[in-house]
Amino acid sequence: MRKLFPAAVLAGWLLYALPLAAQLQCSVVVNTPEDEVMLAVNGATENPQEQITALDKYAQAHADSKFMPCVNSSYTMAYLKLNNFDKAIEYGEKNIAANQLDVNQMLNLMKAYVASGKVTDLTFDVINKAPAQIAVEANPTRSSNMSDADFTKVKEDAAATAKDQRAYAEYAFFQLIPRVTDPNKRVQALDAFMQAYPDSPNAAQINFQYFIAYKYADNAAKIAEYGEKAIASDPTNVATLNLVADDYATRKTNLDKANEYAKKVLDIEPTAKKPEGMTDQDFKTNQNGQLGLAHLTLGYIALQKVNQTHKVAPAIQDLKTAADLLESNPQLQARAFFYLGFAYEVTPANHKAAADAFGRAAAISGPLQPQAQEYLTKVKGALKH
């Protein structure tokens, strides 16, 4: 019998995982068609198109063979190398649908999902089945002549590999969950993920994704619950602080906490360090966006409290600062100008400044444009009197 691949080749799985025999029965008898196709596949590791040609030849002649799951696994690997992600997904999902599981094949399939940004009916099924399959394959067999030290090393290596494999599966989930547009399906996917990964180290990301899902679903109670959980899990994450603050403010459900979280962003973000691999320009754009949203929230809160404080200047200052910082985010910038228009209309009204603010909001295409145009017309009317 000839094995499809040697059992020890796991280094480099993060680039292209090789399909090892697991639940897939990929042992072959010498001088059979299966032996011939796998010799061709293994002999053309640097030429995936040659591998596909050999696999096509076998599949055309032996479409009903019990060896086809192994062929599908090799197809997945070859098409992944060619960056033909749709084909990699097509062949990988044939095995998943038939419950023919193999960790490295599942990882290849996840890589195709992530690279393509494609989410299918089986995507999260693959990710959620990974922990159990990783556990199955992370138990090395001890040969009769293996020393205690050698076997300990083999087990340690297997455990390290399993940890990396599981980490990639979780990474794939967080890359793909934003692709689910239906908020109820997103919550269902998160619930299923929590069952499959109950000990995930990524609690902050899980809570944040629940927060986003419930925000899309407009479930105010759950938004607050998971927003607070996300902040508790990662109290210095400015993106989370900003989004929770913005939600509290715009819903007018908790202006005090919104104020607190937005101010935290202004304390934290100016001293943030540029992430490795990010360009200076991208870092500056992102930083301005976070600071701009914080000022937008604070300006909106100040505007809401004018009747209590009798001070509109803080609102105007924060909203002007927000509008300047949010140049790269037109929709948020439109909100800043829109609120600024109202701030200028607070007694004593500055119709000219209000008209300029509403005019700039009306010039930005988006959901606020009709309202901004309506108020611009009203303010221009006031200027004539």
Looking at the structure, tell me whether residues 128 and 260 fall in a common domain: no
Looking at the structure, tell me whether residues 241 and 379 fall in a common domain: yes
Q: Which amino acid is at 117?
A: G
Report how far apart, in Å, the C-alpha atoms of 7 and of each of 1, 21, 138 are. Answer: 14, 8, 12
Report how far apart, in Å, the C-alpha atoms of 167 and of each of 87, 129, 186, 206, 324 are. Answer: 25, 14, 21, 14, 40
Note down pLDDT in tens along the chain; length 385 residues.
333 333 322 233 333 333 333 467 788 899 999 989 999 999 998 999 999 999 999 999 999 999 999 999 999 999 999 999 999 999 999 999 999 889 999 999 999 999 999 999 999 999 999 999 999 988 888 888 999 999 999 999 999 999 999 999 999 999 999 999 999 999 999 999 999 999 999 999 999 999 999 999 999 999 999 999 999 999 999 999 999 999 999 999 999 999 999 999 999 999 999 999 999 999 999 999 999 999 999 999 999 999 999 999 999 999 999 999 999 999 999 999 999 999 999 989 999 999 999 999 999 999 999 999 999 999 999 887 7
Task: Name the domain count of the chain.
Answer: 2
Looking at the structure, tell me whether residues 124 and 254 fall in a common domain: no
* Structural domain includes residue 329: yes
* Furthest C-alpha separation in the chain: 99
Owning domain of residue 81: 33-137
Domain CATH for 268? 1.25.40.10
Domain CATH for 101? 1.25.40
* Structural domain includes residue 370: yes
* Structural domain includes residue 20: no
Among 107, 137, 167, give the residue marking a domain's end. Answer: 137
Among 137, 161, 179, give the residue marking a domain's end. Answer: 137
Q: Which amino acid is at 69?
A: P
pTM (predicted TM-score): 0.85
* Structural domain includes residue 127: yes
Looking at the structure, tell me whether residues 252 and 363 fall in a common domain: yes
Structure tokens at 321: 């600062």
* Structural domain includes residue 201: no
* Structural domain includes residue 279: yes
Among 89, 122, 137, give the residue marking a domain's end. Answer: 137
For residue 2, what pLDDT is reported?
37
* Structural domain includes residue 122: yes
Looking at the structure, tell me whether residues 375 and 239 fall in a common domain: yes
* Structural domain includes residue 89: yes
Looking at the structure, tell me whether residues 262 and 371 fall in a common domain: yes
Q: What is the 3-state secondary structure (H, E, C) of the chain?
A: CECCCCCCCCCCCCCCCCCCCCCCCCCECCCCHHHHHHHHHHCCCCCHHHHHHHHHHHHHHCCCCCCHHHHHHHHHHHHHHCCCHHHHHHHHHHHHHCCCCCHHHHHHHHHHHHHHCCCCCCHHHHHHHHHHHHHHHCCCCCCCCCCHHHHHHHHHHHHHHHHHHHHHHHHHHHHHHHHCCCHHHHHHHHHHHHHHCCCCCCHHHHHHHHHHHHHHCCCHHHHHHHHHHHHHHCCCCHHHHHHHHHHHHHHCCCHHHHHHHHHHHHHHHHHCCCCCCCCHHHHHHHHHHHHHHHHHHHHHHHHHCHHHHCCCHHHHHHHHHHHHHCCCCHHHHHHHHHHHHHHHCCCCCCHHHHHHHHHHHHCCCCCCHHHHHHHHHHHHHHHCC
Looking at the structure, tell me whether residues 132 and 241 fall in a common domain: no
